[in-house]
């Protein structure tokens, strides 16, 4: 079987960089230990090898489709769904009392990396089911939990998140779906939702939709949106609940993961139940959003990881051209070199490696903050919460934006074959394209980062992150080989301060449009620097293992980490300097000006 | 029904094998260990299936130091109910059989894998049967309970043989006996709560000691033959590779 991810890389990050054992100290996770984690990782990989990866291409070649009011998906999803439910994979992080395993989010994310690298079309079905069940267990009354959650966690029913409407995508304040209160405490739901992932298919017998809607008479804007649970069939009677599937969007990627158009209450027969408090729906939904965004970041990382290994394999096998000899010539009588010997191909491979491993490290660090933000105590809890808030938009955006670039380079490694459907790179290239769109586009993530997270609580989150980076830099400075890179990272952190020194006064003066106009450029700069910090962390761990001889991996493994860090600093980090130039430039070229016809 | 399954750890199949101490000792540096696949996929999974069908319990036993506990935990995650670890590093098959025999009384069925994938001895099962004075069937690929008897099928030259054996038996399991089971989340978390009893070695004699190991000679390089040069190809296959 082709390599689609590397367990050693994952183990290095878990044990030697991010200290996974720390989370076992939290009382909620005291059931876990290194042995159970090891068996979990191996079991996840064995399952992914057996049931996930072999269906990955097929799910693209035989995509989901809509016929006679139904959506048909690849038949193997049904088996996976059932096995996932029977074997406790859907409810991994849920409480024991809800039938879950109380697994740390850190571990759940590591396991998701294995599954998502094997098959990025499949994980969404399970992830959304867990996410929507989690909304019910967190905010819903016991009665709702009892009615819906057990069958979601056991894989009989699927869950979905219904936010988007034709006129309300990025701007959910424009949601129009209505909820009318009934005498028995339930609501009649009426409206349309589009782009609903996993909204209807033949792998499960029922669907539990978590729907954003306005209660009649609720205030306009985000403060008038409530959250409802709306099943396709009523749990008790199995009666149809007037949720009609109007279609399945045909897409360029993730074609095995259906995307539906749902119509609620076309015949006035759709009933829903309020989850949590009225008018707090969006707020509740956003509390869960960090998890969903980390999920997308991990899917992007994993998709780009699989693409990297596919291109690496090809580069090791394809003979083409000859290396230039010391006399500046090539010897035509020599056997052709493998393309992995050409500097330009190595650059493309290193680029991918530095992006995917850097992204994976960032995602795992973010997931660790989730555990401590939920289960930590006092200051530790608060600090982890702030760091989580700050890192989440970057953990979603860096892998989805830079992952695209990585896969583009992976495809380039294959030359013309990369463009052909016989090879898998084109599928990864298409699949990753959605990651910077759903769960909030890159534009929206960037507004969140600069407009909310940087300034949140007087910039405390940023200060905390800076303190962590300084700590890592100090440790790295124990090793002479790493010192020049620490200096570069410090210089880039200084650049961030410079940029904020220019931008923040705009916000303080109330000129928000100018403040946020280049938020996406700021995201590119900041997330690139945060990944450089991840590389310093990884290189420090590698150096430590080499010096002390205590690591679990061989010398070549650790040296490759340090080498890849150096690549990142030479080729990728300087892009932050270009961002700095743009962000410090005072010309305003993108903001709408009166009477200016830019695009005429 | 009480079933005992003997399990051992072996290097992962992708491990790079080498020896130290003048070829006497296996070099375990950087080696990832797994449960011997014949023990896991066939003996243990079949034992768990039989328990699920007929009731009873499955105990796994391992002779090894604490580093074996990861494979023992995996066996518990797959479905064994309890485990015994005899705390000694094994050096010969006879020693392993004797250490196991000290704990193997009272079981209706004792299963081993057909061999380990490292030393390929295929000895422990037979020795154990002898020590326990029980019937022994080797290389079985099918095992069913029929009344008080066991129906066991095994491969023989050119065909298969099915035996009917009464009473407690010892049996070594080969491919076909069962399908690999991947431990699930629930099983893995439950495994931690199942009993793992560490017992002292009885100090069983080894019988034999390894004098040395030798690695096979390195493979010679690949020879490229032009596609139209069939004569050379046939000659090389005949004279050098000796496959035709
Ligand atoms: C395959 C797929 C699956 C999906 N799954 C789900 C799902 O399960 N549930 C669900 O509810 N939704 C889902 N979505 C919807 C998805 O979340 C939205 O498509 C996304 O939020 C963007 O909304 P939009 O498509 O309306 O684009 P728009 O909001 O129209 O955005 C268009 C462009 O304008 C930019 N933009 C918009 N507003 C601003 C602003 N204020 N400032 C700066 N730039 C702005 C955007 O960044 C983007 O570049 C899915 C979409 C797809 C394609």
- Tens digit of pLDDT for each residue in A237-262? 999 999 999 999 999 999 999 999 99
Q: For chain A, what are the domain ranges?
A: 31-279, 284-320+336-584
Looking at residue B28, its pLDDT comes to 78
Angle between helices A483-508 and A456-476 (to 10 degrees): 170
pLDDT digits (tens, 9 = 90+) for B101-112: 999 999 999 999
Ligand 1 atom closest to the Cα of residue A166 is 26
3-state SS assignment for residue B139: strand
Calculate how far, in angstroms, residue A388's C-alpha sits from the geometric centre of ligand 1.
23
Query: What pLDDT does residue A159 have?
Result: 97
Closest residue of B to A83, CA-based?
B184
Rounded distance from Cα A117 to ligand 1 centre (Å) = 24
Q: What does CATH list as the number for B2-212? A: 3.40.50.620
Q: Which residues contact A215 (CB under 8 A, 6 or more apart)?
A: A178, A179, A180, A181, A187, A224, A226, A278, A279
Band (B45; pLDDT cuts 50, 70, 90): very high
For residue B92, what pLDDT band results from cuts at 50, 70 and 90? Answer: very high
What pLDDT band is residue B21 in, cutting at 50, 70 and 90? confident
Q: What is the tally of helices (H) and strands (E) in chain A?
A: 19, 10
Tell me the whole-structure pTM to 2 decimals: 0.93
pLDDT value at residue B202: 96
pLDDT band for B30, please (50, 70, 90 cuts): confident
DSSP H/E element including A212: strand A206-215
SS3 at position A500: helix
DSSP H/E element including A248: strand A243-248
Cα–Cα distance measured from residue A110 to residue A88, given in angstroms and rounded to the nearest whole number:
16
Structural domain boundaries of chain B? 2-212
What is the largest distance, in Å, between two alpha-carbon atoms of chain A? 90
Atom 17 of ligand 1: nearest residue by CA position? A438
Q: Which of A501, A471, A498 is nearest to A486 (CA)?
A: A471
Residues having CB closer than 6 A to ligand 1 are A 161-164, 169-171, 195-197, 251, 259, 434, 437-438, 440-441, 443-444, 447
**How far does the CA of residue B192 sit from the closest CA of chain A (Å)?**
8
Q: What is the pLDDT of residue B242?
A: 80
Q: Please name which of B208, B211, B207, B209 lies closest in space to residue B21, comparing C-alpha atoms.
A: B211
> pLDDT class for B22, splitting at 50, 70, 90?
confident
- Closest chain A residue to B180 measured between Cα atoms? A46
pLDDT, position A17: 98
- Decide the pairing of beta strands B25-26 and B159-166: unpaired
Closest CA to B8 of B85, B77, B63, B74: B63
Spell out a b/e string for B182-210, using b for 16 or more CB atoms within 10 Å of the CB, else e: bbbbbbbbbbbebebeeeeeeebeeeeee
pLDDT at B133 > cutoff 90: yes
pLDDT at B221 > cutoff 80: no
Tell me, rounded to whole angstroms, the distance of Cα A474 from its chain centroid. Answer: 30
Query: Rounded to an integer, what distance in angstroms lies between the CA atom of residue A332 and that of residue B126?
Result: 63
Residues A529, A524: Cα–Cα separation, whole Å: 9
Active site residues of A: 439
Which stretches in chain A have pLDDT values below 50?
none
Alpha carbon nearest to ligand 1 atom 35, residue = A443
ipTM at complex level:
0.80
Q: How many CB pairs below 8 A link A and B? A: 50
Residue B42: predicted pLDDT: 95
CB contact under 8 A, B185 and A101: yes
Which sign does the torsion angle of CA A127, A129, A132, A133 carry? negative
- What is the pLDDT, as a whole number, of residue A587? 94
- Name the residue with higher pLDDT: B227 or A229: A229
DSSP 8-state secondary structure symbol assigned to residue A338: B
**CB contact at 8 A, A489 and A531:** no
**Strand-pair partners of B137:** B171
pLDDT above 90 (res B240): no
> Which pLDDT does position B199 carry in this prediction?
98
What's the fold here for domain A284-320+336-584? Butyryl-CoA Dehydrogenase, subunit A; domain 3 (1.20.140)
State the average pLDDT for chain A.
96
CATH topology of domain A31-279: Butyryl-CoA Dehydrogenase, subunit A; domain 2 (2.40.110)
pLDDT band at B243 (very low <50, low <70, confident <90, very high): confident
Predicted pLDDT at A327: 87
What is the model's pLDDT at position B125? 94
Task: List the single residue in B with minimal CA-CA distance to A93.
Answer: B185
- Distance between CA atoms of residues A536 and A542, nearest Å: 10
Given an 8 Å threshold on Cβ–Cβ distance, is B184 in contact with A86?
A: yes
Q: Looking at beta carbons, which residues of chain A come within 8 Å of B184?
A: 43, 86-89
C-alpha span between B137 and B119 (Å, rounded): 20
Shortest distance between the Cα of B11 and any Cα of chain A, in A, equals: 15
Q: What is the pLDDT of residue B16?
A: 80
Chain CA centroid to CA B14, Å = 17
Rg of chain A, C-alpha, whole Å: 25
The predicted pLDDT at position A236 comes to: 95
Contact A540, A472 (CB under 8 A): yes
Q: Are A191 and A253 in contact (CB under 8 A)?
A: no
């Amino acid at each position: 079987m082709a390599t689609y991810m590397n367990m050693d890389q994952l183990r290095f990050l878990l044990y030697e960089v991010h200290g996974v054992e720390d989370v076992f100290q939290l009382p909620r996770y005291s059931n876990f230990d290194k042995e159970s984690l090891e068996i979990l990782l191996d079991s996840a990989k064995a399952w992914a090898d057996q049931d996930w990866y072999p269906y990955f291409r097929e799910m693209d070649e035989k995509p989901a489709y809509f016929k006679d009011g139904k959506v048909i998906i690849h038949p193997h999803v049904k088996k996976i769904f059932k096995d996932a439910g029977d074997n406790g994979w859907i409810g991994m992080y849920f409480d024991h009392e809800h039938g879950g395993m109380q697994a740390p989010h850190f571990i759940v994310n590591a396991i998701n990396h294995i599954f998502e690298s094997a098959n990025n079309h499949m994980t969404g079905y399970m992830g959304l089911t867990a996410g929507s069940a989690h909304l019910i267990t967190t905010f819903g009354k016991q009665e709702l939990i009892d009615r819906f959650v057990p069958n979601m966690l056991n894989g009989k029913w699927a869950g979905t998140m219904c936010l988007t409407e034709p006129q309300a995508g990025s701007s959910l304040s424009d949601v129009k779906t209505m909820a009318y209160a009934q005498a028995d405490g339930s609501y009649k739901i009426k409206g349309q939702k589009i782009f609903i992932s996993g909204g209807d298919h033949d792998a499960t017998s029922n669907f539990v939709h978590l729907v954003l809607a306005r209660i009649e008479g609720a205030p306009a804007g985000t403060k008038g949106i409530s959250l409802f649970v709306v099943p396709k069939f009523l749990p008790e009677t199995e009666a149809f609940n007037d949720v009609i599937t109007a279609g399945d969007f045909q897409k360029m990627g993730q074609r095995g993961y259906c995307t539906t158009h749902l119509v609620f209450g076309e015949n006035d027969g759709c009933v829903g139940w309020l989850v949590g408090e009225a008018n707090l729906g969006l707020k509740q939904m956003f509390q869960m959003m960090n998890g969903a965004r980390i999920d997308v970041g991990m899917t992007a990382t994993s998709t780009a990881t699989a693409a990297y290994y596919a291109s690496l394999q090809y580069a090791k096998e394809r003979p083409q051209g000859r290396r230039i000899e010391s006399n500046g010539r090539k010897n035509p009588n020599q056997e052709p070199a493998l393309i992995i010997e050409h500097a330009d191909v190595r650059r493309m491979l290193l680029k991918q490696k530095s992006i995917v491993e850097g992204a994976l490290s960032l995602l795992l660090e973010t997931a660790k903050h989730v555990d401590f933000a939920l289960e930590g105590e006092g200051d530790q809890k608060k600090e982890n919460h702030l760091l989580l808030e700050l890192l989440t938009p970057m953990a979603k955006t860096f892998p989805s934006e830079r992952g695209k670039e990585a896969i583009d380079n992976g495809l380039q490694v294959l030359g013309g074959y990369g463009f052909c459907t016989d090879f898998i790179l084109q599928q990864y290239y298409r699949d990753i394209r959605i990651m910077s769109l759903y769960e909030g586009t890159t534009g929206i993530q960037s507004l969140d980062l600069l407009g909310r997270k940087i300034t949140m609580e007087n910039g405390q989150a940023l200060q905390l992150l800076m303190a962590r980076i300084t700590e890592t830099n100090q440790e790295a400075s124990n090793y002479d080989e790493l010192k020049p890179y620490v200096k570069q990272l410090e210089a880039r952190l200084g650049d961030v301060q410079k940029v904020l020194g220019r931008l923040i006064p705009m916000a303080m003066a109330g000129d928000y449009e100018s403040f946020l106009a280049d938020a996406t450029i700021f995201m590119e700069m900041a997330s690139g620097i945060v990944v450089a910090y991840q590389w310093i962390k990884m290189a420090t761990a590698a150096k430590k293992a080499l010096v002390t001889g205590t690591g679990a991996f061989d010398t070549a493994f650790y040296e490759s980490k340090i080498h890849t860090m150096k690549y990142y600093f030479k080729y990728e980090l300087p892009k932050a300097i270009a961002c700095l130039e743009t962000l410090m430039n005072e010309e305003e070229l993108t903001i709408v000006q009166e009477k200016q016809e830019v695009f005429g | 029904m009480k079933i005992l399954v003997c399990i051992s750890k072996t290097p992962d199949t992708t491990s790079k094998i080498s020896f130290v101490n003048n070829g006497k000792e296996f070099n375990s540096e950087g080696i990832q260990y797994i449960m011997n696949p014949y023990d896991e996929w066939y003996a243990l999974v079949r034992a768990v299936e039989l328990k699920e069908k007929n009731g009873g319990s499955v105990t796994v036993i391992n002779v090894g130091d604490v580093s074996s506990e990861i494979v023992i935990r995996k066996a518990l995650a797959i479905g064994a109910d309890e485990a015994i670890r005899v705390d000694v590093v094994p050096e010969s098959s006879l020693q392993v059989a004797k250490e196991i025999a000290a704990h193997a009384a009272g079981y209706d069925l004792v299963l081993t894998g057909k061999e380990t994938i490292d030393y390929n001895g295929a000895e422990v099962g037979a020795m154990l049967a002898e020590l326990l004075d029980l019937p022994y069937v080797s290389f079985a690929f099918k095992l069913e309970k029929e009344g008080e008897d066991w129906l066991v099928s095994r491969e023989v030259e050119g065909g298969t043989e099915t035996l009917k054996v009464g009473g407690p038996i010892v049996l070594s399991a080969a491919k076909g006996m069962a399908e690999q089971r991947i431990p699930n989340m629930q099983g893995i978390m439950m495994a931690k709560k199942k009993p793992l009893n560490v017992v002292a070695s009885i100090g069983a004699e080894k019988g034999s000691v390894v004098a040395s190991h030798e690695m096979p000679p390195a493979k010679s390089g690949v020879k490229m033959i032009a596609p139209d040069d069939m004569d050379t190809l046939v000659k090389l296959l005949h004279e050098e590779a000796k496959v035709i």
